[in-house]
Structure 1
Amino acid sequence: MHAVRLHTFGPAESLVHGPAGDPAPGPGQVRIAVAAAGVHVADTVQRSGSADGPYALPELPAIPGREVAGTVDALGEGTDPAWLGRRVVAHLGTAPAPGGYAELAVADADRLHALPEGLAEERAVAMIGTGRTALGILGFTELSPDDVVVVTAAAGGLGSLLVQYAKNAGATVVGLAGGPAKTAHVRALGADLAFDYTLPEWDEYARTALWSRTATVVLDGVGGAVARAAVGLLGPGGTHLVFGWASGEGGPLALSPAELAERSLTSRNVLGPAMLERFGGGLRGLRHLEEESLAQAAAGKVVPVVHCFPLAQAAAAHRALEERRTMGKVVLVP
């Protein structure tokens, strides 16, 4: 097979496409002929060698990638033979180098989901990790038609799903994105309002457009100045849910106890242990979110946006993601 290996920590060019040995499934595992592999911001952090990401650094050389979809072509000992030949999608877990950036990948059978009929592999990959995260974030709030929801990075893989889920709940959605092409894309996803956060005083335009209304929820994966301005749109009793800090401006936005109390705001980081605890802990809770996200995509309730690159261009995919030149979930296609 061919795979993308990380040989040294550093820039995107550290990812090298080339021949590699075929992996063999162990007991209770399957091998998947990969049709689509997901790329995550966390992959770029790990590739750089930073210890600030959610996953441990792997021993090198390593094959990154933790989201794959394709067809089961081999079984390990004791694995249910019914999986052979089935179209599946799986999140490969939190191992430092799960091996998804490849033509063949090994997965534990208990992580598999049969692909719903009519759901393409690249869209399924967008739902198995990013989709479950979107549902997990929304599990910390109960959106209704009374809500005004601000979504930062609304043109990204996660943000584009949050926009759609919030609209499905009947909320008024304000999407933030960088540049006119992305804001147009956010409006096309269903956002009631979309603002270019690279423009000065975008938040003042947002206040004017909302008239007398204030935001009730900010879904924040950006942090920094954008998050600060977005939180400024919250009215008394508003909720700030943090799930990332893609701006790179010193981590998530931290609101002081005094500010929270003065404005009656709630601010919470909802990733990691908080989400696991919310949904029962461990793989079981996450699996429920995976099943629901795949079902919603198969039913057409949400349409995952994907930006595909050939597997051999994994380095270009990482560069584009880091430079914010992508819209939707970045996916590698062998």
Structure 2
Amino acid sequence: MHAIRLYTFGPAENLTYEEAEDPLPGPGQVRIAVEAAGVHLLDTALREGMQGPLPEPPALPSIPGREVAGVIESLGDGVAALWLGKRVVAHLGFAPGGYAELAVTDVDRVHEIPERLDFAQAVAMIGTGRTTMGILQFTELGPDSVAVIPAAAGGIGTLLVQYARGAGATVIGLAGGPEKTARVQANGADLAVDYKDPAWPDKVRAFLGGRAATVVFDGVGGDVARAAVDLLGPGGQHLVFGWSGEGLQDGAAYVVEGVTEQVLGPVMMRKAGGPNPVRTLELRALAEAAEGRLTPAVQRFPLAEAAAAHRALETRGTTGKVVLEP
């Protein structure tokens, strides 16, 4: 098979496209002929060998990637024959191996892909969609809600815009540059504004006509988040789930009187509950997509161009979920 291998921590150029040995499924495992592999911002941090609030960097050499979709083409001992040939999607956990033409995982991790989804969309929902479902546990959206969504052209932002609109909320989507703001508008936002324009908060206030925002879905941090939080009224919520605008390890605590701030992370899993909360959220995400309520945005790169995909993600030059296709 062909795969992306990392021999040395560092820049995206360290990702090498080469031939590798085919992995073998062990007991209780399946081997998937990969049609799409998800790329996450966390992958770029692990590639650099970053420490901190992250999993341990992988042992090198390593094949990165933790989200795959494809067709099961080989079974390990103890796996029912009915799985052979199934279209499936799986999150590999923190075991690497996704950036490849073949990937192995436990059969308990896989989900059948709903008919209406292609492989890349399924990858988006198993990772980005799962996180979106986790975030949405912490707020109730309805016709009286005003949701401000920074990074609204991103993978999570795209889904949050769709969900909020479906709930009847007023949706303010923020994105960088005219191309991304046009995408946000087309995705259903009531107002899409360019956060690179220093006057964007005034444009939002003018549009709202005296109404205050009720919730900010913050995956960005930094000055954009600070200005967004200032739009909240008493009783508003600031839900923090990332810091892409400030770096993964920088905080985003902006104390505003009357506003509740929650920094989400492991608490999303605890709230989902059940014996396998990760799988609970994955199933919710796939169900939303299967019913047509959520449609993920996907940006596709050939597997051989994984380095270009990493660079684009790190420079915020992507829209939607980044996916590699062998």
TM-score by length of 1: 0.95
Corresponding residue number in structure 1 for 2:308: 316
2:320 is the alignment partner of 1:332: no
> Helix, strand or coil for the counterpart of 1:181?
helix
> Would you say 1:206 and 2:208 are equivalent positions?
no
* Structure-2 residue corresponding to 1:59: 59
Identity of aligned residues (%): 62
Question: Deviations along 1:183-224, whole A, 9 cap, x unmatched?
Answer: 010000000011111111211111111111110000000001
Return the letter of the residue paired with 1:317: A
Q: Distance in 1 between matches of 2:40 and 2:172?
A: 24
The DSSP-based 3-state class of the residue aligned with 1:331 is strand
Deviation, 1:323, is: 1.1
Query: 1:281 Cα shift?
Result: 6.0
Q: Structure 2 vs 1, CA of residues 52 and 199 (structure 1 numbering), >3 Å: closer, same or farther?
A: farther
Offset at 1:32?
Answer: 0.2
The alignment partner of 1:213 has SS state of coil
The match for 2:111 among 113, 118, 127 is 113
Q: Secondary structure at the match of 2:309?
A: helix
| Equivalent in the alignment of 2:186 | 188
Please name the residue that 2:251 is paired with: 252
- Supply the distance in 1 between the matched residues of 2:222 and 2:78 (Cα, whole angstroms): 50
For structure 1, the 5+ residue unaligned runs are none
Cα shift readout 1:32-73 (whole Å, capped 9, x = no counterpart): 000000000111111122114532101111011111000001
Give 1:294's match in structure 2, choosing from 286, 290, 296: 286
1:299 Cα deviation (Å)?
2.0
Native 8 Å contact 1:55 1:94 kept in 2: yes
1:162-200 CA-to-partner distances (Å, cap 9, x unmatched) read: 111111111100001100100010000000011111111
Q: Which residue type is aligned with residue 81 of structure 2?
A: P
Q: Is the 8 A contact 1:42 1:53 kept in 2?
A: no
2:131 is matched with: 133
Aligned length: 325
When residues 306 and 206 of structure 1 are mapped into structure 2, their CA distance, relative to the original with a 3 A threshold, is: same
Opposite residue 196 of structure 1, the aligned amino acid is D
Tell me which residue corresponds to 1:279.
272
SS at match of 2:69: strand
Q: Note the 1:53-132 alignment, pairs <5 A.
A: 54-95=54-95, 98-132=96-130
Q: What is the correspondence of 1:170-249 to structure 2 with a 5 Å cutoff?
A: 170-248=168-246
Q: Can you list the C-alpha shifts for 1:237-283, whole angstroms capped at 9, x where unaligned?
A: 10000000001256231134xx3xxx211101112x2111111166x
Q: Which amino acid aligns with 1:319?
A: R
Q: Which amino acid aligns with 1:252?
A: G
Q: Is the 8 Å Cα contact of residues 218 and 240 (structure 2) preserved in structure 1?
A: yes
Aligned residue number for residue 270 of structure 1 = 264
In 2, the alpha carbon distance for the partners of 1:186 and 1:120 equals: 22
Q: Note if contact 2:89-2:113 (Cα within 8 Å) is conserved in structure 1.
A: yes
Query: Which amino acid letter does the alignment assign opposite residue 266 of structure 1?
Result: T
Q: Given that residues 143 and 167 in structure 2 are in contact (C-alpha distance below 8 angstroms), is that contact kept between their aligned partners in structure 1?
A: yes
2-side partners of 1:23 and 1:179: how far apart? 43
CA contact (8 A) 1:45 1:53 kept: no
Match of 1:21 in 2: 21
